[in-house]
Structures are given as C-alpha cells and as structure tokens.
A and B are shown apart, each in its own frame.
Chain A
Amino acid sequence: MTSSRAHVLPGQYRDRMGWARHFLAGALMGVAFQACWAASTVTVDYRVFPGLAQMDGNWAALLAASDGKVYAGLACHGCTGHLVFYDSKKDKMIDVGDLNGLTGEQGLEIGPQSKIHAKFGEGKDGRIYFATHGGWWFDYARFATPEGYPGSHYMAYDPLLGKIQDFGVGPRYEGMNTGAYDPRFNRIYGLTHPRGHFVYYDVATGAKVDKGRVNNWDSICRTLGIDDQGNVYGSFGPGHIFKYSPQTDTIHELSAQLPIRQKGISLGRDYDKSETAWRVVLWDDVTKRFYGVEESESSLFSFDPSAKPEDAVKRLGQMAIPELAARRDVPYATLSLTLGHDRKLYYAAAAHEFDYGGSGTLATASHLMTYDLRNGKTQDLGEMRLPDGRPVLGTNSADTGLDGTIYFVGAIGVKQGSLDGNENAGKIGDTPYRLALFIYHPKADNVHE
C-alpha cells in the first residue's frame, strides 16, 4: 500500500493554518495522532439540498443516472424522508417529494417513510427503482403495532413523466435496510430490517417474494451485489457469502470467506457493530468480479463468483486512512465506494466513527482514498474539503456519472452567514451539520500538496 502527500495551494493555506490551530488544541486534548493527517487536501465541489436542511442522513441511496440526473434519498428520523435529484446539466437540485406523500401515507400518523436506505437502480425503461425504509425503531417496541412502521414500499420514478409509481408495501412492518435493482430481471431486491429477510419485487409480474431470513438484525450487510448474469450476492454470518440465483429462485451459501479481522476488544466498538459483513460492493464488468470494503477494518477485497471457493475472495489492501488503518478502533467503513472511469476505486474514508448525528464527539474531514485496479496501488488523496475550506465531515454513498464525475452524499458543517443558510439537521460533535452532494472530477487538478 502506498499513500501520497500533496502540497497545499495558497487558497487553502489559511484553512490549513486554521486546521493546524485546531490540531494543536486537539493535541493538547490528547489526540496527538492527528498530527500526521493534515498534510494534504482534495477539494470537492458541493450542492446543498435547498429547503431540506432538516434531512439528517443519507446511506447508500445515490445514483448517477444515464440522463445526467443524480438521485439521492435523504433521511429524516422521526419524520418523512425525501427523494431528490440533482440535474447536472442544469445545475439544479429538484425535490421530487416527501416519501410519506409519495407513498400515500401522509396524515396517517404511523411510522413514517423516513428513508431510502439502499441503492437505486435504473431500468431499461429509464425509470429509477428503489424501496423505502423506516427511521426510528424504538427498540422494536412499536413493531407490528398500529402506530408503528407499516412496511417498505417498492417504487419507481419516471424521469420522463416526472411521476412516481408506488408498487405498494412489500415486507409488512419491515424496512428495506439494503437493496439493489437488477435491470436484466427487472427486479428490486432487498434485505429487510429488522428480521433480515431476502425479498424481491418482480416489476413485470408484480410478484412480491420473501425468501426467508439470511442474517441477524445487527449484522445485515449493507449492499447486495449483482453480477452480469443477474445473480445476487450478499454477506451473512461470520463473513460468509450467499448467492441468490434468479434462474432457480434459490439461495445458496458459498464457502468463500471475507477477510474479516478477528475481534480483539470485547466491548465498546465490538458491542455496537458486528464487524462480520461486507459494507459495500460493486460489480466491475471488465474484470468480472466484485470489489468491496468490509466492516471490521475497511479491508478492500475482490470477489470472483466464478472462481474456485478458495480463490474467490482476495484481500487487496485497506481503504482506511493509512494513519488509522492499524488501530483497533479504525473508523467503521463507509458506504462510499465507486469505480471511476480511470479504473480507480474511489472511497471516502471517515476520519472518525461517522454516522451523522450518531457520530463521535469530533467532526473532522474524511479522506478520499483510491485504489488503482491497473496496478494495485492505494493512494490517500487527502482530506476532503469544500472550496471554502470546510471539511467534508463524512459520507455514506458514492456513484460515478457517465462523464466520469464522482458524486458523494454526506455532511458538512453549517457556516454562519453562508449562502447555505444557518439551518441544520443536528450536530456532529459540536458542529451543526446538514447534508450535501459532493462533486469530484478525477481529472481536474484538485489534489493539492
């Protein structure tokens, strides 16, 4: 593994100095290890979501569609989420609507459709397919009650007509924790929360199918991978992989094993997070394999479904910020992995445990990491910062546009007096934050030493 250090342009210097002061204070507070981080930055453009400052999270739900629109699902705990898209051709952000309204559940005063918590997919018909998710679960005290969450809706958005089609509730009372759409078989797949069932909706026939439980609620993998034959893969148990075959409509459990780090500390981080699943995977049509990041130490791995079981999974490196990679408390892996047109994997690594308002006490900049599939080299491009120097506080989704632009959705600090407004969704540490779409052009000269 290698890492790069880039120089800082004058424009960033003031911010670097500001960061240095912050770092000095941090060092005095006992976080001296941060000293070696703040050497490079990568500038990303951003767009906020106007009128939606109260949206408090985004996980996985980001798609750069073929028409140049970039779709995002914005979450709101205790309230309704929103479907939005960024029209990259017009540089305009559009709010398609709130999910309670789009599902016809407004005014019912039942558990709201708070999120799109899984990946979108684009159909051959140009429609954008997805499923909704709940927000708060109240320790499942309201599960299957009249006031509780009614269940995830399978849905499609038609960009030509500007209309939503609601296919109705899929799994009763459960949300769609994880999902993927397969244009080949025209199906929305998902893993439910909390009961961990593998389900799908067949758009052509309208069939809603539940294939049963695949995992425990606290360790459901957050991405389903689909290969070029339409087979669907997920991880379960102690780093195992299952395969769903649409040809046979059956689930098979493979003997391939993910590179999961053995647990070492029994409580704290281990208690909260299972650390046994893959966090994010994507399919590469060139090498005919998946690339993914697992959740125990952010290991990057490849998974070749056609290889012999003992050769199917290979550990390629680690996508955590290099200075943190060996630590036991390496920040939990994000969902922000995408493949660029330059054959590099782009991954936004968190600098601290990041989960929006549920993050730790410090709000610091994510790093943009790359892994070059051509030569196997890993690079730390540095801290992700906005043009005004503000740090990207964390991200949890990524995708690549047709023109090669890389998009992320995540959190930024709210800056008093900025054009973004002063509204926020809550705090990350002491920093008020709101969501933003980040825009990165890999070929541009925006990596600075």
Chain B
Amino acid sequence: MNKTGFLILIHLLMASFAFAQRDPGYDRVVVLQTRIDARDLGYSPVDLIPDGESGITSLSVAPNGDVFGATSGTRSHLFVLNPVHGYVVPIGVIPGATSVTHAVVISEEGDVFIGTAPSGHLLKYTPDRVDRQSIEIEKLLPVADLGTPVAGEHIDALAIDRRANRIYGLTSPNAHLFSYSILTNKFDDLGVIAKSAPWGEKYEHAKMISRMLVVDDNGDVFTSGEDGYLFEFAAKTQTVQKLSVRAPAVPGREPYARVDAFLLDKSGMIYGGTSDGYLFRLNPEKHTVENLGKPLNQYRIAGLASGPDGKLYGVGGDESEMARMFSYDPRNGSYDLLGFIDVNRRPYFAWQAYVIGDIVSDDRGTIYLGEDERISKLYLFFP
C-alpha cells in the first residue's frame, strides 16, 4: 500500500466510528468555508418563517438589487433580502399558495409578480419601503389578484420580459404556455407544449415540461416540452414552435428529459441544465444546442447563475441526493467541482443544504442559493 492509500485507510478508520459527528476532514468535501454563509429566514429564534413552510423554491433579483424569494410548504411566504442589510425579512403569507416554483418575477417598476400553485393565480405585490419592512410571519401578503391564466391549472414557472412589460408562464398539469401583459392586464394562452405523458409506470402521469422559462435579448421565450424538445415563443410572430433540438439526455431517455434551469448569459447565449444533469448551451438565434457534459455524477441541475468572474455557478443533485455546487468557465470549457453546500460556523451553528430550490446572482457578484427542505436557509456564495 502506498503512502496515500495508507493515509486514506487511516482516515477511514478514524472516521468510521465518528459517525454523525463532524470531523475536520469533512471540510475537504464542502464548499470553501470563507466563500459561503447562510441566513435564517427571519429573525431567529422566533420570528422565522416556520419549519415546514420554508422551502425556498423561487428567487428573483429586483432592478434595485433587492432579492425576493418565495417558499413552498404548508403555506408559502414571500421574503426579501436587501444586500445592504444582508438579512432576510419575511413579508407575508402568499394567499392561496402552498407552492411557488421559479415563479417570482419583478418588473422594471419593481412590482413583484407571483405565480401560485395549486390555485393557479397570478398575484402582484407592490413593495412599499422595503428598507423599513417589518417581519410578517402570519399576516397575508397584500396583493392584487390578477386572475388565472388557464382555468384549473397551477402555475409552475414564470419569466419576464421587462422591456416589453410581459410575463410568460407555464402551467401544470396540462403544460400550457401563457403570457400576461402588464400594461393591458390580459392573459393569452399561447398553446400546449406537452400533450401527453411519456411512457411510464401506471402511476406516472406527469407531462414533461421544463421547470423554468427564459427570455432572450430579443424577447423570445424558450422552454422544454414533450419528448425533451425545446420550444420557442417568437415575440415577432407571436407563435410557438417546436424546435428540432432537445434537452441533452442519454439516448432513450429524451422523453423523460426536461430543462431544470435556464440562464441568459451576458453573451446572449442561453445556458441550461437538464434533469439528467447535463449542462448545455443554446444559441437562441441559430437554434443549436451544445451539450457541455455533466459536471457531477448526479441527476438534476437545480439552478444556474452568473458569477462576477465570468463563470457560471450551478448546483446538481436530485431531491433524494445531496446537492453539490460546481462552476463552469465558458472561456475554456472547464468545470470546477466545489463540493457540498455547507456552512460550518461552530460553535454557533452548522447546516448543510441537501436540496436547492433556486439560484440567482446579483450585480454585486453574490450568488444566492435557496434551500428547499422542511427547514431551509438562504445561502450566500461569494465566488
């Protein structure tokens, strides 16, 4: 046995009985501790979004830099983080919602639009002096109910074209793509992107649609739908077309593939992550897809965000797995594997996120990762 092998063996033997107790060696497999921090969802220990209601499933950055988030659970809450202050302020309980998934968008004017499930309503919240906002755990969020885009459907995802003052959304279970004009308060059902569920077990009925939407610089909207194909809503022609390209998947698994995450890069390219865990680059004008490979041997890309260093940052891992963070450098096509999302601030606290619900980054270069578990925190990563 060589020296390295011997050291590994010793480490394993030492660690084997220290189950469920943190060993300093564990720091090697988590994100560098000087780059990551966590925030409770409120003011600990009492004025927090309650456990069971705190899974962060939507994050969005307002034009003024405030970070808004929505949770899922037995109730959904809206919260805000002003980066100047750095703490999370729960604003209120979102009416009629137990789930808000990638469905918070913010207009140029700063209005916050929320797509709810299961009620399927589009809500508008207008922030008022967020800087002096008090914590509201029990009060209903004051919203304007803009109605339901498709009767009987949940809203699964939203995206916004701020220049056009138009919101786009996806619904479930029947996979409608819709739009909402902020100026005219009018919904349009743009069509269905998945008519039937893929061949599966008898208990499987879900139609495969992407978990996010993206709007490119031309105002065109992209999503994935049936059989893993990408769909485009062209702003000029106001039509939905099924593209000839698919979300990357292992051959044979295309019908089960969906896009988990989209990110419009400053270059104008769209990056995406798939349910099979592949990263890809979509040229929105040429309609070509480059498969950039798998950063991790895990399913899912739970989110993507732009870093200040030109890299993309993302998280992989399915709901039953343990999420890991990675970065991708478009300049040389290389990945860095950053480790588990864990914040170790002994003796005050230590917490590891296993499931990430959404990721965004702000203009200051901070990447925000929302944990989606019964007990959840907001993580700040500083590339």
Q: Is B one of A's binding partners?
A: yes
Measured CB to CB, the residues of A under 8 A from B are 56-57, 77-78, 135-141, 143-145, 172-173, 177, 193-195, 197, 211-220, 238, 251, 253, 263, 266-267, 270-274, 355-359
**CB-CB < 8 A to A143: which residues of B?**
321-322
User: Residue on A with the closest CB to B373?
Assistant: A213
**Bound Cα distance from A144 to B316, whole angstroms:** 13
Asked whether B347 lies within 8 Å of A358 as measured between CB atoms, the reply is no
**CB-CB < 8 A to A137: which residues of B?**
19
Contact of B340 among A140, A197, A253, A266 (CB under 8 A): A140
**Bound Cα distance from A238 to B321, whole angstroms:** 26
Contact of B374 among A140, A144, A214 (CB under 8 A): A214
Give the interface SS of chain A, mostly helix, strand, loop or mixed: loop
**B42 CB → nearest A CB, Å:** 14
Asked whether A358 lies within 8 Å of B322 as measured between CB atoms, the reply is no
Asked whether A272 lies within 8 Å of B322 as measured between CB atoms, the reply is no
**CB-CB < 8 A to A216: which residues of B?**
350-352
Contact of B28 among A135, A139, A251, A253 (CB under 8 A): A139
Asked whether B16 lies within 8 Å of A357 as measured between CB atoms, the reply is yes
6 A-B contacts, Cβ less than 8 Å apart? A140-B340, A143-B321, A213-B374, A253-B50, A253-B51, A263-B347
**CB-CB < 8 A to B19: which residues of A?**
135, 137, 193
Asked whether B322 lies within 8 Å of A212 as measured between CB atoms, the reply is no
Asked whether B297 lies within 8 Å of A145 as measured between CB atoms, the reply is yes
**CB-CB < 8 A to A135: which residues of B?**
16, 19
Contact of B320 among A78, A144, A273, A359 (CB under 8 A): A144
Asked whether A217 lies within 8 Å of B352 as measured between CB atoms, the reply is yes
**A378 CB → nearest B CB, Å:** 27
Q: How many residues of chain B have a CB within 8 Å of chain A?
A: 38
Does B201 make an interface contact (CB < 8 A)?
no
Asked whether A177 lies within 8 Å of B354 as measured between CB atoms, the reply is no
**Bound Cα distance from A172 to B318, whole angstroms:** 12
Contact of A272 among B18, B29, B375 (CB under 8 A): B18
Stretch at the interface among B7-15, B219-227, B240-248, B357-365: B7-15
Asked whether A266 lies within 8 Å of B346 as measured between CB atoms, the reply is yes
Contact with A along B339-379 (1 / 0, CB 8 A): 01000001101111010000000000000000001110000
Asked whether A138 lies within 8 Å of B375 as measured between CB atoms, the reply is no
Asked whether A251 lies within 8 Å of B52 as measured between CB atoms, the reply is yes
**CB-CB < 8 A to B13: which residues of A?**
357
**Bound Cα distance from A433 to B25, whole angstroms:** 26
Does B4 make an interface contact (CB < 8 A)?
no
Asked whether A213 lies within 8 Å of B321 as measured between CB atoms, the reply is no
Asked whether B321 lies within 8 Å of A144 as measured between CB atoms, the reply is yes
**CB-CB < 8 A to A56: which residues of B?**
17
Asked whether B347 lies within 8 Å of A57 as measured between CB atoms, the reply is no
**Bound Cα distance from A143 to B18, whole angstroms:** 17
**CB-CB < 8 A to A195: which residues of B?**
322, 354
A272-B21, A272-B22 known; A139-B322 Cβ under 8 A = no
Measured CB to CB, the residues of B under 8 A from A are 12-26, 28-29, 45, 50-52, 297-298, 318, 320-322, 340, 346-347, 349-352, 354, 373-375
**CB-CB < 8 A to B351: which residues of A?**
216
| Chain A to chain B: the 8 pairs with minimum beta-carbon distance, closest first | A358-B17, A212-B374, A263-B347, A218-B22, A213-B374, A144-B321, A77-B16, A213-B373
**CB-CB < 8 A to B29: which residues of A?**
139-141
**A393 CB → nearest B CB, Å:** 14
**CB-CB < 8 A to A355: which residues of B?**
17-18
Asked whether A271 lies within 8 Å of B22 as measured between CB atoms, the reply is yes
Contact of B375 among A139, A214, A218, A271 (CB under 8 A): A214
**Bound Cα distance from A272 to B24, whole angstroms:** 8
A211-B374, A214-B375, A216-B352 known; A140-B322 Cβ under 8 A = yes
**Bound Cα distance from A77 to B350, whole angstroms:** 26
User: Residue on A with the closest CB to B11?
Assistant: A139
Asked whether B52 lies within 8 Å of A138 as measured between CB atoms, the reply is no
**Bound Cα distance from A117 to B120, whole angstroms:** 45
**CB-CB < 8 A to A266: which residues of B?**
346-347
**Bound Cα distance from A78 to B26, whole angstroms:** 19
**CB-CB < 8 A to B12: which residues of A?**
136, 138
User: Residue on B with the closest CB to A198?
Assistant: B374
**Bound Cα distance from A266 to B375, whole angstroms:** 26
**Bound Cα distance from A216 to B343, whole angstroms:** 11
**CB-CB < 8 A to A172: which residues of B?**
320
Asked whether B346 lies within 8 Å of A270 as measured between CB atoms, the reply is yes
Q: Give the one of B19, B320, B346, B351 with max A CB within 10 A.
A: B19
A139-B29, A211-B374, A251-B52 known; A357-B17 Cβ under 8 A = yes
**Bound Cα distance from A138 to B23, whole angstroms:** 12
**CB-CB < 8 A to A357: which residues of B?**
13, 16-17
**B138 CB → nearest A CB, Å:** 15
A139-B28, A140-B340 known; A78-B52 Cβ under 8 A = no
**Bound Cα distance from A357 to B322, whole angstroms:** 28
**Bound Cα distance from A27 to B3, whole angstroms:** 36
User: Residue on B with the closest CB to A266?
Assistant: B347
Asked whether B20 lies within 8 Å of A217 as measured between CB atoms, the reply is yes
**CB-CB < 8 A to A218: which residues of B?**
20-22, 350
**CB-CB < 8 A to B349: which residues of A?**
238
**Bound Cα distance from A409 to B24, whole angstroms:** 29
**CB-CB < 8 A to B52: which residues of A?**
212, 251
**A112 CB → nearest B CB, Å:** 13
**Bound Cα distance from A270 to B24, whole angstroms:** 11
Contact of A173 among B23, B45, B320 (CB under 8 A): B320
Asked whether A212 lies within 8 Å of B373 as measured between CB atoms, the reply is yes
User: Residue on B with the closest CB to A144?
Assistant: B321
Asked whether B15 lies within 8 Å of A220 as measured between CB atoms, the reply is no
**B162 CB → nearest A CB, Å:** 36
**Bound Cα distance from A194 to B373, whole angstroms:** 14
**B78 CB → nearest A CB, Å:** 21
Asked whether A194 lies within 8 Å of B25 as measured between CB atoms, the reply is no
User: Residue on B with the closest CB to A173?
Assistant: B320
**Bound Cα distance from A422 to B375, whole angstroms:** 49
User: Residue on B with the closest CB to A359?
Assistant: B17
**Bound Cα distance from A263 to B349, whole angstroms:** 11
**Bound Cα distance from A220 to B375, whole angstroms:** 14
**B105 CB → nearest A CB, Å:** 28
**CB-CB < 8 A to B340: which residues of A?**
140
